Structure 1
Amino acid sequence: MKVSVDISMYPLIDDYCQPIIDFIDRFEQNPAVNVQRNSLSTHIYGDYSDVMGALNSEILAVIEQVPQTVFVIKLVGKDREKAVINACE
C-alpha cells in the first residue's frame, strides 16, 4: 500500500536549522522513499512499511540528539506524489 506523509519538524533550540536539514538529507538518501522539500514541510512518499520504517528510525535518531523536538505528521493512505489539488475549482 502506498502512502503519503507531510511532516514538519520543530527543534526547540536556538540552532534549529541544521537538525532539520540533516533529518531531510537522511530521508533523501533512502532509496525506498521519495522526498519533496518545500518551505513549510517535507513530503515523503512510498510503500507504507518503507515510509513508516524510515520515519521510525529517523525520528528516533532526532529525539535521541534533540529531545525537545516537536514533529507534526499527516499521513494519507494513498500516493499523492503526482496529485494536483484544485480546491477552488
Structure 2
Amino acid sequence: MQLSVEISLYPLQDNYLAPIQWFIARMDSYPEIQRKTNAMSTQIGGDYDTVMALLATEMKAAHEQWGKGVFVCKFIPGGVDLDHSE
C-alpha cells in the first residue's frame, strides 16, 4: 500500500531554517521515497511501512538534534501523484 504525507516543521528557535533544511536533506537519504518541497511544506510518498518507519526515525532525530519543534502532518493512504499540478 502506498502512502503520501505532507509535512511542515516549525522549529521552536530563532534559527528556524537550519533544522528545516537539515530535515529535508535527511529525507533525500531515502532513495525509495519520492520528495517534493515548496515554500509551505514537504510532501513524501512511497510504501506505507517505509514512509512510517522513516518518519519515526527522522522526527526523533530532529528532536534530538534541534530540540523542540512542531511537526504538522497530513496522511493520505493510497498515495497521490506528487508531480501533479494545475
- Identity across matched positions, percent: 40
Partner AA of 1:8 in structure 2: S
What residue is the counterpart of 1:76 in the other structure? 76
Unmatched tracts of structure 1, length 5 or more: none
Distance in 2 of aligned mates of 1:41 and 1:58: 16
TM-score (norm 1): 0.88
Unmatched tracts of structure 2, length 5 or more: none
What residue is the counterpart of 1:41 in the other structure? 41
3-state SS in 1 of match to 2:46: strand
Higher alpha-carbon Rg: 1
What residue is the counterpart of 1:16 in the other structure? 16
Partner AA of 1:81 in structure 2: D
Aligned residues: 86
Aligned-residue CA RMSD (Å): 1.6
Distance in 1 of aligned mates of 2:36 and 2:65: 24
Q: After TM superposition, what 4+ stretches of structure 1 lie above 6 angstroms from structure 2?
A: none
